[in-house]
Amino acid sequence: MSRPSKPEPSQPATSRPDDRRRPTDASADDTTQLDAEASREVRSRSLRLLGELLRPRRGALALAGLLVVVSTLGQVAGPWLVSLAIDSAVPDLMDGDVDTLVLVGSAYLVAAVVGGLCAGAYVRQAARIAQGVLLDLRRRVFRHTQLLSLEFHESYTSGRIISRQTSDLEALRELLDGGLTGVVSSLMLMLFTGLSLFLLDWRSGLVLAVALVPAWLLTRWFQKRSQVFYREQRTTSARLIVKFVETMTGMRAVQAFRRESTTEADYGRLSEQYRDANLNTMGLNGRYQPGLVLIGNVAVAVALALGGWRVYSGGLDVGVLVAALLYVKRFFQPIQQLGNFYNSFQSATAALEKVSGLLAEEPTVVEPRRPVALPHARGALRLDHVTFRYGDGPVVLPDLDLTLPAGQTVALVGTTGAGKSTLAKLVTRFYDASEGRVQLDGVDVRDLSTTDLRRAVVMVTQEAYLFSGSVRENIALGRPGAPQADIEAAARAVGAHEFIMDMPDGYDTDVNKRGGRVSAGQRQLLSFARAFLADPAVLVLDEATSSLDIPGERLVQHGLQTLLSDRTAIIIAHRLSTVAIADRVLVMEHGRVIEDGTPDELAAGDGHYAALNAAWQDSLV
Ligand SMILES: Nc1ncnc2c1ncn2[C@@H]1O[C@H](COP(=O)(O)OP(=O)(O)OP(=O)(O)O)[C@@H](O)[C@H]1O
C-alpha cells in the first residue's frame, strides 16, 4: 500500500485552522498591523520581559548610571573651563599671575581624565549587562521552545522559530551592544550640555531652544515614517528566512516536484521586497541626518552672530561666547546618533515583541502536580470514550472506546486521514484527549510523570531520526548511560550489529560523516535498537512507508519481531507482512474503528480489511 508522505514538520501550517490565533500569542507575530488594545498588550508583555531580564541586574545598572553621569560631567566641564581660561586665566597671566591658568589647566586635565576613564568603564559595564541579558534570553528561548508541546511545533513553522533565535536576538544584540550604550550617554550629554548653556548664558540657550523646534519636528517626521519602514524591513526579512529554511528543509520535495524555478522566483521576489524595504529606511536616514546637521549649523551661526554683536557692544565676554558656541555645536551631534538609534530601537522593539510572544506560549500538555508513580508498567492500555480535535478544529476521533490488553500487538490500518497517527499521539501523550481519557495500567496518562510515561511508552517514528554523533550514542539514547554490552546486545537483537560492524569505525562511526551514511532500512534498525534498549512496556510504531527492497524489508521485519516480543505494541501498519504478525487488527475510518479482529478473521470476512488484504496479496504476485 502506498500513501502520501506526512507533511514535513517544517512546512507551513496551511491546513491548520487560523481562527484560534490570539492577537497576543506568537502566531500573530508576523502581523504588521495590530489594533490598539492588542498592541498595548504586546507592548506590556515586552516590557514585562525586559523587566524580568533587568531586575537581577539592578546593582550593575545603578553603577553604569553613576559612571555615565560622571563621564558626562567631565565632558561638559570642558567648554566652561575654556571660557574661564579665556576670560580670567589669560588676563591674570597678562597681569603676571600664572596661578589661575595652572588651576584651570589642571582642572581641565582632571575633568578629561576622569571623564575618559568613567566613559570607558561605563562602556564595559554596559556591555557586561547587555551580554548577560542576551545570554539569559538566548537560553530562555531555546529552553522554552523545547518545552512547548507538539501542538505548538506542528503549527509554528521552524523557519519562524529560527527567525526568533537568530535575527530577532541579533536585532536585540545590535541595540544592546552599541546603540543603547551610545544613546544613554548621548541623552545625558544633551541634557547636561543644555543645562550648562543656560547656566552660562541663557540668551544663547534661547537660540538653542528655538532651534530645537524644527529639530523636534524633523525627528517626529522621521520617527513616524521609519516606524512603518522598519516594521516592513523586519517582516520582509523574516519572510525571507522562512522561505529559505522551508525550501532547504524540503529540498527533496522541491526537487522531486520540479519546484526549483517557482521557489527561485518566490525567493527573488521576497529578496526584492527586502531590498526595497532597506532602501526605504536608508533613504529616510539620508534626509533626516543632513537636515539635522543643517539645523545645528544654522543655530551655531545665529548664536555666533548674536553673541558676536553682544561681545562687540560689551554685553558678553569672549570666553563665554566661545563656550556657548561649543555647547550649541555639541548639543546637535548626539541628536544624529539618536536618529540612528531610533532605527535599531524599532527593530529591537519588534524583535522583543516577537520573542516575548514565543515565551508567552504555554505548553498544552502539562506535567501533573502530583504524579501517580508507575515505575514498572505492564502495558495495559485503555481509551475511555476519547474524543479528540486539534485546537478548535473538527472532531478527528469521536468517542473512541478501546481496550488493549498488556502484551498485545495491534496493527492499525485505514485510509489516509483516518486518525491513526492521532491515536498514536494520544497514547504517547503528545496531545491530550479533548474529552475522555487514555489510561495506562488503569492510570490516566495525564497523572503520570513525564519520566514514567516516556519510560513506559516509546514511539518509533517513520523518519527514524538520527542525531549527530556516533552510532553508539544514537542507540544509547534509548537508555542513557547503558553499557556497551547492552548497546551491542540491542543491536544484535534487532539485526543491526552486522552492518554496524561493516561501517568504517563500527559503533563509533559518526552518522553524519561520509561512510556513516545509513540507508532507510538501516536507519530503521538503529531506531529499533534504540527502542529495544529502552525496553518500554508499550511501543508505538509508525511504520516507514519508504519502499524497502525485499532483503531490506525482511531484515526490518525480523528486527521488528524481536522488538515486539511480548510488549504491548500499536503499529500503524503499511505492510502486509507487519499486519500478519499482529495479534489484532483495527481498521479505522473517520476516527472510528470499523473492524476489529485477528488478521485471519478479518481476512476471511467481507469487510474493508478483506478487500485491502486481497489487494495486497495481488500486489505480491
Ligand atoms: N497537527 C494537526 N493539526 C490539525 N489537524 C491535524 C493535525 N494532524 C492531523 N490533522 C488532521 O486530523 C485528521 C487525522 O489525521 P491523522 O494524521 O491522524 O491520520 P492518519 O490516519 O494517520 O493519516 P495518514 O495515514 O495519512 O498518516 C486529518 O483530517 C488531518 O488533517
Q: Which tens digit of pLDDT belongs to each residue from 443-469?
A: 999 999 988 998 899 988 877 778 888
Residue whose C-alpha cell reads 514538520 in the numeric block: 9
Query: Do 400 and 301 have their domain in common?
Result: no
Of the ranges 199-203, 270-274, 510-514, 520-524, the best mean pLDDT one? 270-274
Query: Do 290 and 199 have their domain in common?
Result: yes
In a domain, 506, yes or no: yes
Mean pLDDT of 576-600: 88
- Cα 461 to middle of ligand 1, angstroms: 15
* Domain count along the chain: 2
Query: Do 230 and 282 have their domain in common?
Result: yes
Atom 7, ligand 1: residue with shortest CA distance: 390
Of 317, 329, 330, 328, residue with least CA distance to 86:
317
In a domain, 445, yes or no: yes
In tens, the pLDDT along 392-410 reads 889 999 989 999 999 999 9
- How many CA atoms does the CB half-sphere of 111 hold within 13 Å? 18
Query: Do 353 and 408 have their domain in common?
Result: no
406 vs 381: CA distance, rounded Å: 7
In a domain, 567, yes or no: yes
Domain interval for residue 134: 24-360
Of 563, 583, 568, residue with least CA distance to 538:
568
Q: What is the mean pLDDT of the chain?
A: 83
- Domain CATH number, residue 419: 3.40.50.300
Residue type, 7: P
Query: Do 220 and 323 have their domain in common?
Result: yes
Atom 17, ligand 1: residue with shortest CA distance: 421
pLDDT at 149 over 60: yes
- Determine the atom of ligand 1 nearest the C-alpha atom of 421: 22
- Cα 478 to middle of ligand 1, angstroms: 27
Backbone torsions φ then ψ of 317, nearest 5 degrees: -80, 150
In tens, the pLDDT along 27-49 reads 445 554 556 777 778 888 888 88
Q: What is the DSSP letter of 87?
A: I
Q: Which three cell numbers stand for residue 531?
A: 527502542
- Cα 408 to middle of ligand 1, angstroms: 25
- Cα 607 to middle of ligand 1, angstroms: 23
In tens, the pLDDT along 169-186 reads 888 888 877 667 777 888
- Cα 412 to middle of ligand 1, angstroms: 14
Provide the whole-model pTM: 0.72
In tens, the pLDDT along 545-558 reads 654 566 666 777 77
87-90: long-range contacts (C-beta < 8 A, 24 or more apart)?
A: 87/317, 87/318, 87/319, 87/320, 88/319
pLDDT at 162 over 50: yes
The pLDDT confidence band at residue 514, using thresholds 50, 70 and 90, is low
- Cα 417 to middle of ligand 1, angstroms: 5
In a domain, 19, yes or no: no
- Determine the atom of ligand 1 nearest the C-alpha atom of 588: 21
125 vs 134: CA distance, rounded Å: 14
The pLDDT confidence band at residue 19, using thresholds 50, 70 and 90, is very low
- Determine the atom of ligand 1 nearest the C-alpha atom of 418: 21
Counting ligand 1 atoms within 8 A of each CB, the residue from 421, 459, 463, 572 with the most, and so the one to mutate, is: 421
Query: Lowest mean pLDDT: which of 168-172, 369-373, 462-466, 511-515?
Result: 511-515
Residue 97 or residue 442, greater confidence: 442
- Cα 4 to middle of ligand 1, angstroms: 12
Query: Do 387 and 352 have their domain in common?
Result: no
Q: Which residues line ligand 1 (CB under 6 A)?
A: 3, 6, 16, 154, 390, 393, 396, 414, 416-422
- Determine the atom of ligand 1 nearest the C-alpha atom of 414: 21
Mapped onto helix, strand or coil, the DSSP state of residue 467 is coil
Atom 29, ligand 1: residue with shortest CA distance: 417
Using CA atoms in the order 558, 562, 563, 567, what is the torsion angle rounded to 10 degrees? 130
Q: Are 428 and 445 in contact (CB under 8 A)?
A: no
- Domain CATH number, residue 258: 1.20.1560.10
Domain boundary among 360, 394, 421: 360
Query: Do 334 and 450 have their domain in common?
Result: no
Atom 5, ligand 1: residue with shortest CA distance: 390
- Cα 250 to middle of ligand 1, angstroms: 20
Domain boundary among 360, 393, 420: 360
Domain boundary among 360, 395, 424: 360
